[in-house]
Amino acid sequence: MIEKIRNIFAIPELRRKILFTLGILVIVRLGSQVPIPGINPDALRQTMESLNDTFFGLFNLFTGGAFGQAAIFGLGIMPYISVSIVIQILQTTLPYFQRLAMEGESGRAKITQITRYGTVVLAFVQSIFIALLLESYGIVLDPGFLFRFTAVVSITTGTMLLLWLGEKITEHGIGNGISLIIMVGIIAGFPNVVISEISYFQQGVRGILSELFLMLLFFFLVMTIILVQQGVRKVPVQYARRIVGRKVYGGQNTYLPLKINTAGVIPIIFAQSIILIPGTIATFFGQDATQSNFISLFAMDHWFSNTLFALLIIFFTYFYTALQFDPNQVSSTLKQQGGFIPGVKPGKKTAEFIENILTRVTLPGACFLGFIALMPYFLQQFAGLDYAYASFFGGTSLLIVVGVGLDTLSQIESHLLSRHYDGFLTKGKVRSRRG
C-alpha cells in the first residue's frame, strides 16, 4: 500500500489534483465552523443537544455539523440537490427541458444555469426559515430585522460558495465535488461518535462481545455494499466481421456490462432530500410544529419515515437508472457498429431485451439499498444504539461514504493505469460506477 501511495504522488498532475481537492475540503470544513453573527453559543449548544434525535439531527448530519453550529454553511449542499431532483424530473415531463437535454453541451449549460438560479431561490427561502427558527428557540442575542437580514445573506451566500467549491473540485480536482463535500461532512462526525462509544464501553453500557459484533457487522456491511456497487450483469455482444481491402474488422466477442446499481448513491441522496422536506417546511412554524404528530412521523426513529425512505430509494434507483441508461440508444449504437446480441434481432428487439434484463438486474440492487437504509432503524430498535452511532452501520452515511469512496478511487486508478503504474489491486482494477 505504501508503494501505491508513493506512485500516486509520483504523478505531478494527479498529485496536484489531490492536493487541490484536500485544500478545498479544508476550506469547506472551516466554513462549517464559522457561525452567523449574533448567535448565543451556549444557548445554541443546549438546543442542538435536545434536538439530536429529531429531524434537525438528521439535517445536521448531512451538513457535516454546520447546521448545529448555525454556520454560514448551515444549509450544506442540500438546496442544490433538491433543485437538481426537480430539474431532472422536469426533463422527463416538460417539452422545454426535454429539448434542452437533447441539445448537447449548450443544453446542459442552460440546465446547469437554471439549476443554479433555482438553488439561490431555495437557499434564500430556507435561510429565512432558519433565521426564524433560531429566534423562536431563543438562540439569537438581538432578534429583529437586522439579524434576519444578516442571517439570510450569510447562509444564502455560504450555500452558493459551497456549490462553487464543489464545482471547482469536479473541474480541477479528483472525484465529484458535491459528493465529496457530503462524504467529508459525514466522516467529520465519526470521531465524536467513537468517543461516545468508548465512554459507553467504560461505563459498562455495552460489553466487549457487543463491540466485537458491531465491528464484524460493520465490516460485513462494507464488503457487501462494495460487492453490490461493483456487480455487473454481462450481456454477450458479437460484432460482425467486415473485410475492407486486405484488412479484417470486427468479428470479436465482448459483453455489455449492466450494473446492479447503475444509479450509484444518487437515489439515496435524492430520497433523503425528500424526507427532509416536511421538517424544512415545519421550521417556518417554529417549535410547536416540529413536535406535532404529523412531523413526528418523519422522525429518524419512526417506522413510517424509514419505510418511506426505503421505498423512495427503490423508486429513485429505477428513475435515475432510466435517465442514465437508454436501451434504445444502446441498441442503435450497437447496430451502427455492426454489433448484435446472439439470438436477438437488432433494433427494437435488442432494446426490449436490454431493458428487460436491466429491470430485473436493478430490482435486487434497489432492494439492497433500501435494506441498508433501514439498518440504522433496526439497530436503534433492537440493539439500543444511538442514531448517530447506528447511522455508520448502514443508511445514508455508510452508502454515501462507500459509494463516493469507490468512485474517487476509480478515478485515481485510471490516472495510475494511464501512466503505466499498478493500481490499488494486484489483479484487475477498481471499476468506476459509470463502467
Residue 253, strand partner residues: 238
C-alpha cell at 345: 434481432
36 close to 151: Cβ distance less than 8 angstroms: yes
**How far is the C-alpha of 50 from the C-alpha of 42, rounded, in Å?**
13
pLDDT at 428 over 50: no
**How far is the C-alpha of 338 from the C-alpha of 243, rounded, in Å?**
13
Rg (CA), the chain: 24
CATH class of 189-435: mainly alpha
Burial class for 120, CB neighbours closer than 10 Å (0-12, 13-18, 19+)? middle
Q: Is 384 helix (H, G, I), strand (E, B) or coil?
A: coil
CA dihedral 366, 371, 376, 379 (to 10 degrees): -170
Helix locations, 173-302, DSSP H? 177-188, 190-202, 208-230, 266-282, 287-290, 293-296
pLDDT at 434 over 50: no
Q: Which residue has the higher pLDDT, 157 or 345?
A: 157
Q: Is 263 helix (H, G, I), strand (E, B) or coil?
A: coil
* Domain at 11-187, CATH homologous superfamily: SecY subunit domain (1.10.3370.10)
Say what the pLDDT of residue 165 is.
92
Angle at 333 between CA 329 and CA 334, to 5 degrees: 120
51 vs 134, 225, 283, 307, CA distance in Å? 13, 30, 13, 22
pLDDT grade, residue 289 (50/70/90)? very low
Say what the pLDDT of residue 299 is.
66
Q: Which residue has the higher pLDDT, 90 or 290?
A: 90
Angle at 409 between CA 405 and CA 415, to 5 degrees: 155
124 close to 153: Cβ distance less than 8 angstroms: no
**How far is the C-alpha of 61 from the C-alpha of 187, rounded, in Å?**
9
Say what the pLDDT of residue 74 is.
85
User: Using one digit for the tens of pLDDT, what is the confidence trace for 350-389?
Assistant: 888 888 988 888 888 888 888 888 888 788 777 777 766 7
pLDDT grade, residue 158 (50/70/90)? very high
pTM (predicted TM-score): 0.77
Task: Identify the residue whose cell numbers are 509520483.
Answer: 10
> What rounded mean pLDDT belongs to the chain?
80
Domain ranges of the chain: 11-187, 189-435
pLDDT grade, residue 433 (50/70/90)? very low
Say what the pLDDT of residue 205 is.
72
Strands (E), 273-395: 339-340
> What mean pLDDT is predicted for residues 129-155?
87
The answer to whether domain 11-187 and domain 189-435 are alike in fold is: yes
**How far is the C-alpha of 434 from the C-alpha of 414, rounded, in Å?**
13
> What mean pLDDT is predicted for residues 201-211?
77
Strands (E), 325-429: 339-340
End-to-end CA distance of the chain: 24
Indicate left, alpha or beta for 310 from its phi (over 0: left) and psi (-120 to 50: alpha): alpha
pLDDT grade, residue 287 (50/70/90)? very low
SS (H, E, C) 145-174: HHHHHHHHHHHHHHHHHHHHHHHHHHHHCC
Say what the pLDDT of residue 27 is.
92
Residues 6 or more apart whose Cβ sits within 8 Å of residue 432? 407, 410, 411, 414
DSSP state of 254: E
**How far is the C-alpha of 306 from the C-alpha of 50, rounded, in Å?**
21
Amino acid of residue 85: I
The residue among 273, 279, 306, 275 whose CA lies nearest residue 292 is: 279
DSSP state of 392: G
**How far is the C-alpha of 211 from the C-alpha of 393, rounded, in Å?**
13
User: Using one digit for the tens of pLDDT, what is the confidence trace for 105-116?
Assistant: 888 889 989 999
C-alpha cell at 277: 422536506
